[in-house]
Amino acid sequence: MTEQQPFASLEAAHSAGVYAKRPITLVRGSGATLYDDHGQAYLDCGSGIGVANIGHCHPTVVQAIAEQAATLTVCPEAFHNDQRALLQAELVQLFPAEFQRVFLCNSGTEAVEAALKFARMATGRTAIVAAMRGFHGRTFGALSATWESHYREPFMPLVPDFSHIPYNNIERLQNAITEQTAALIIEIIQGEGGIRPATAEFLQAAQTICHERGALLILDEVQTGFGRTGRMFAFEHYGLQPDLVCLAKALGGGIPMGAVVINQRVGELAIGTHGSTFGGNPLACAAARASLSVIRTEQLVDQTAEKGAWLLTQLQAIRSPKIREVRGLGLMIGIELKEKVSPYLQKLMNQHQIIALNSGSNVLRLLPPLVISWPELERVVATLRSMFE
Ligand SMILES: CC(=O)N[C@@H](CCCNCc1c(COP(=O)(O)O)cnc(C)c1O)C(=O)O
């Protein structure tokens, strides 16, 4: 172990080796601030890749986890549980009335896997259509819906009968969705694919075409959900009526959790057709209930709409030959550069103590906690302006 980075070298000695690492060791977080093992503070504009919407270690969630950890953490879905029953009821309350059922799991990729299986089972069809540049997870089904070849190639063959269309291309959608299509799966804003919002026309056409041809519309809101875009769920911006909505990341307030919220149009799912040992566990459900209460009581959705609009305007006002476009919705912002983004991420972290993300090789992605303060937002804008102007 090196004295400067004792934990980094220890971790590197035993890690599977699949992750690119940044040279800091994060050991504590509070609100939108993270601290490394030397006590250095960082302003977090990554939220753990869109998880810490309510900030790090929110006291309400910490208390709920502590209480549930001392009460019951293990309860498979073979038995009823109070926290799960309450969370399910509170979760479907956030959706239109036709959404009455939810499948609980432990990650985004699991939510996508469940939605894909439910769609094939409910329709009796096998074809799945997804979007180019889309990202839906790393497990074989979700990976089959994910576009970029560098995610897919080492693992071929993937699940058969998946195809991809250009995002926002209605004509290709018309040709791709047929009577054999079980579902279309899309993001409202492509998160890993470069912070690319769908057009309202594309989304409306997707819903119309799917429902006219008996296919289900699966919305992957793993990254856009829980206030991230300035509405509780991004589909609300467009008045959509999806059939299955995949959720995860911020759902559990930092505790791993995923969910599929199911429109009654999908019909009944037969007992024994899917499952998960940890899905719906009391600890995650208690954390999720606490997180939802924080989003509600701190009015984080409305705050995000206001802060996000201001941030987007400020960043779009930066005049720089290095910036191609600034886009996004709420506090899900992408700055597309005319060059590689990684040097800028390193500079932000090492010289300015701001942690931001990439999305692809040339988009600087900002996913700050929704609790980020106005002074912290002003610091982000001032820093980026100084870097790019
Ligand atoms: C460092 C690291 O592990 N990064 C993750 C980043 C994934 C972030 N996105 C997850 C995601 C997923 C998968 O979610 P999960 O299994 O990672 O919880 C599904 N759908 C959408 C729209 C998503 O954005 C990865 O490279 O797999």
| Secondary structure (H, E, C), the chain | CCCCCHHHHHHHHHCCCCCCCCCCCEEEEEECEEEECCCCEEEECCHHHHCCCCCECCHHHHHHHHHHHCCCCCCCCCCCCHHHHHHHHHHHCCCCCCEEEEEEECCHHHHHHHHHHHHHHHHCCCEEEEECCCCCCCCHHHHHHCCCHHHHHHHCCCCCCEEEECCCCHHHHHHHCCCCEEEEEECCEECCCCCEECCHHHHHHHHHHHHHCCCEEEEECCCCCCCCCCCCCHHHHHCCCCCEEEECHHHHCCCCCEEEEEEHHHCCCCCCCCCCCCCCCHHHHHHHHHHHHHHHHCCHHHHHHHHHHHHHHHHHCCCCCCEEEEEEECCEEEEEECCCCHHHHHHHHHHHCEECEECCCCEEEECCCCCCCHHHHHHHHHHHHHHHC
Residue 5 is predicted with a pLDDT of 85
Q: How far is the CA of 386 from the centre of ligand 1 (A)?
A: 31
The atom of ligand 1 lying closest to the CA of 20 is: 1
Within the chain, which residues score under 50 in pLDDT? none
Q: How far is the CA of 158 from the centre of ligand 1 (A)?
A: 18
Residue nearest to atom 8 of ligand 1 (CA): 49
Q: Work out the number of other CB atoms within 10 angstroms of the CB of residue 190.
A: 26
Q: How confident is the prediction for the chain on average, in pLDDT?
A: 97
Contact 218, 247 (CB under 8 A): no
332 SS3 class: strand
Residue nearest to atom 17 of ligand 1 (CA): 108
Q: How far is the CA of 375 from the centre of ligand 1 (A)?
A: 29
Residue to substitute in 112, 222, 355 for testing ligand 1 pocket (most ligand atoms within 8 angstroms of CB) = 222
Residue 87 is predicted with a pLDDT of 98
Residue nearest to atom 19 of ligand 1 (CA): 136
Residue 215 is predicted with a pLDDT of 98
Q: How far is the CA of 2 from the centre of ligand 1 (A)?
A: 31
Residue 108 is predicted with a pLDDT of 99
Residue appearing with tokens 């069809």 = 125
The atom of ligand 1 lying closest to the CA of 258 is: 18
CA angle 49, 53, 55 (to 5 degrees): 100
Question: How high is the ipTM of this complex?
Answer: 0.99
pTM listed for this prediction: 0.98
φ and ψ at 43, to 5 degrees? Answer: -85, 120
Residue 304 is predicted with a pLDDT of 99
Contact 244, 266 (CB under 8 A): yes
Residue to substitute in 223, 247, 332, 365 for testing ligand 1 pocket (most ligand atoms within 8 angstroms of CB) = 223
Residue nearest to atom 5 of ligand 1 (CA): 49
Residue to substitute in 47, 105, 192, 247 for testing ligand 1 pocket (most ligand atoms within 8 angstroms of CB) = 192
Q: Work out the number of other CB atoms within 10 angstroms of the CB of residue 202.
A: 20
Residue 363 is predicted with a pLDDT of 98
Burial of 283 (0-12, 13-18, 19+ CB in 10 A): buried
* Residues lining ligand 1, Cβ inside 6 A: 19, 49, 107-109, 112, 135-138, 187, 191-192, 220, 222-223, 248
Contact 349, 326 (CB under 8 A): no
